[in-house]
């Protein structure tokens, strides 16, 4: 059996992620105070969202360091899957929070309360500025590291999307604040709260679904098993391919194993190199290849 492990070029965006973490944590505190001041359930709902973003960023910084630890006899694949436990916990927490936001929004329709539109406007501008700054800082560093190593930091990419979502959310709050300020339509606050809750719930469900697929060892979405099987079967020296399995450790690091029946005249080294080359083309970092000759190949039940 032949085995190949492609080494990763680890690069860190811990500094930018740390800045984003403290900015989100600080601003979530400001939002809670601001939400009480403006009497806005939408602001308080977004405070919860920003706090969870801060937790997610803090987790990303921690996992960035943890993922660099060497594998052990207890965790032979390393510590990459620890991030999935965090993702499940955060998703469940966000779904619970979204449900509470929906209840709060519906209640506000029956018992409308005066909202400080000007205060909402100020907080919205502050939110756009802080989240926009954090987004641009991480994006700049991610582009720099990508140019240097031609690799992508999945933690920072996910956090960038979170921050971009926050910016768009605050733009919606800004529009709502302007409407409230000029019209006095306080029910807009409840509508914004519902929109934020639905947005958070939708993304949390998607994140939970994707995480569970990884835990259940589903084939990564960027890998076509049919195309991979076809490309392997036409390689010179290969008679057939069976027991092809592909899964992901954490959503970004893919693992595969395959049994290849080769002709007796084929060079095992050449066939192994060709198989690994195809695996690499499909973004599989950790392939394991078992080569067999036709008279001695394993049956389906033996594999």
Here the CATH number for the domain that contains residue 124 is 1.20.1510.10
**What stretches in the chain show pLDDT beneath 50?**
2, 5-12, 149-154, 300-301
283 is a domain residue? yes
Asked if 89 and 129 sit in the same domain, the reply is yes
Sort strands 238-248 and 254-262 into parallel, antiparallel or unpaired.
antiparallel
Token reading at 254: 């893919």
Expressed as residue numbers, the domain containing 20 is 10-215
The predicted structure's pLDDT at residue 153: 46
Asked if 261 and 190 sit in the same domain, the reply is no
Asked if 151 and 28 sit in the same domain, the reply is yes
> Residue 246: which H helix or E strand, with range?
strand 238-248
Give dist(CA 220, CA 222) in Å, integer. 5
Asked if 30 and 146 sit in the same domain, the reply is yes
Only one residue has tokens 């506000």, namely: 108
The predicted structure's pLDDT at residue 232: 92
302 is a domain residue? no
Give dist(CA 173, CA 193) in Å, integer. 9
Pick from 146, 145, 167, 175: nearest CA to 53: 167
Of the candidates 215, 247, 277, which is a domain's last residue? 215
The predicted structure's pLDDT at residue 15: 67
28 is a domain residue? yes
Residue 134 · residue 19 · CB < 8 Å = yes
220 is a domain residue? no
The predicted structure's pLDDT at residue 279: 93
Pick from 288, 256, 285, 251: nearest CA to 82: 251
2 is a domain residue? no
The predicted structure's pLDDT at residue 297: 59
Of the candidates 215, 239, 265, which is a domain's last residue? 215
126 is a domain residue? yes
Asked if 63 and 174 sit in the same domain, the reply is yes
Asked if 189 and 155 sit in the same domain, the reply is yes
273 is a domain residue? yes
The predicted structure's pLDDT at residue 303: 58
Please name the residues in contact with 300: beta carbons below 8 A apart, sequence gap of 6 or more.
242
The predicted structure's pLDDT at residue 12: 41
Asked if 203 and 168 sit in the same domain, the reply is yes
Only one residue has tokens 């994140």, namely: 207
Name the pTM for this structure: 0.68
The predicted structure's pLDDT at residue 160: 67
Token reading at 269: 């080294």
Give dist(CA 92, CA 95) in Å, integer. 5
Task: Report H helices in the chain.
Answer: 14-38, 41-66, 82-110, 117-149, 154-183, 187-215, 225-233, 268-281
Give dist(CA 293, CA 229) in Å, integer. 18
Asked if 67 and 139 sit in the same domain, the reply is yes
- Give the CATH number, domain containing residue 281: 3.30.70.1350
Asked if 197 and 278 sit in the same domain, the reply is no
Pick from 26, 244, 5: nearest CA to 130: 26
301 is a domain residue? no
Asked if 178 and 255 sit in the same domain, the reply is no
Residue 238 · residue 232 · CB < 8 Å = yes
Asked if 50 and 161 sit in the same domain, the reply is yes
Of the candidates 181, 215, 249, which is a domain's last residue? 215
Q: In total, how many domains does the chain have?
A: 2
Question: CA torsion sign, 145 to 62 to 218 to 248?
Answer: positive
Asked if 77 and 160 sit in the same domain, the reply is yes
């Amino acid at each position: 059996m032949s085995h190949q492990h492609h080494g990763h070029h680890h690069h860190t965006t811990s500094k930018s992620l740390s800045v984003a973490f403290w900015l989100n944590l600080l601003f979530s505190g400001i939002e809670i105070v601001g939400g009480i001041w403006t009497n806005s359930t939408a602001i308080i709902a977004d405070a919860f969202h920003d706090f969870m973003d801060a937790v997610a960023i803090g987790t990303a910084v921690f996992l960035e360091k943890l993922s660099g630890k060497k594998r052990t006899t207890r965790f032979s694949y390393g510590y990459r899957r620890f991030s999935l436990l965090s993702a499940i916990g955060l998703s469940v927490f966000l779904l619970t929070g979204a449900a509470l936001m929906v209840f709060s929004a519906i209640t506000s329709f029956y018992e409308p309360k005066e909202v400080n539109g000007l205060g909402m406007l100020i907080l919205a501008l502050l939110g756009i500025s802080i989240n926009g700054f954090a987004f641009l800082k991480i994006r700049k560093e991610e582009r720099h590291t990508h140019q240097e190593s031609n690799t992508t930091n999945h933690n920072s990419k996910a956090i960038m999307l979170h921050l971009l979502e926050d910016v768009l959310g605050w733009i919606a709050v800004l529009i709502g604040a302007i409407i409230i300020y000029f019209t006095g339509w306080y029910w807009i606050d409840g509508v914004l709260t519902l929109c934020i809750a639905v947005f958070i719930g939708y993304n949390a469900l998607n994140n939970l679904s994707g995480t569970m697929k990884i835990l259940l060892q589903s084939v990564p979405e960027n890998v076509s098993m049919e195309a991979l099987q076809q490309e392997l079967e036409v390689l010179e020296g290969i008679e057939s391919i069976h027991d092809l399995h592909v899964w992901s450790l954490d959503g970004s690091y893919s693992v595969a194993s395959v049994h290849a029946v080769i002709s007796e005249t084929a060079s095992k080294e050449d066939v192994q190199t060709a198989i690994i080359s195809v695996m690499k083309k499909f973004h599989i970092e950790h392939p394991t290849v078992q080569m067999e000759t036709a008279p001695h190949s394993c049956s389906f039940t033996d594999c």
